[in-house]
Amino acid sequence: MQTSARTATDNSKAFAAFIAKKAEIDTMLARLTALSESHFNIDPERLYRGHVGDLEHYASLLKRITDSAFREGENAP
């Protein structure tokens, strides 16, 4: 029975860590959503090719994350 109690405690710590990390991710996603809604703070009158490159870079990083999360791309079974 002692093993069972220890497992519950270990799971509790893991769950707390999971929720904390999820909150961190949720905060990052909310910030990215707000930035996207403001067109990444780019004035359309001052937009140039470098801004497109920045978005391409962001998209490639996010694709790595979504591929991993959804087991797509390189992470496909």
Q: In which band, very low, low, confident or very high, does the pLDDT at 10 lie, cut at 50, 70 and 90?
A: confident
Residues 63/73, Cβ–Cβ less than 8 Å: yes
Predicted TM-score (pTM) of this structure: 0.78
Domain ranges, ordered by start, for the chain:
1-37, 41-77
- CA atoms within a 13 Å half-sphere pointing along the CA-CB vector of 45: 0
- Gap between the Cα atoms of 34 and 26, Å rounded: 12
**Tens of pLDDT along 16-58?**
999 999 999 999 999 999 999 999 999 999 999 999 999 999 9
Tokens of 23: 């909150």
Residue 6 pLDDT more than 80?
no
| Confidence at residue 2, expressed as pLDDT on a 0 to 100 scale | 54
Query: What CA–CA distance (Å, rounded) separates 69 from 63?
Result: 10
Question: What are the pLDDT digits (tens) for 55-75?
Answer: 999 999 999 999 999 999 988
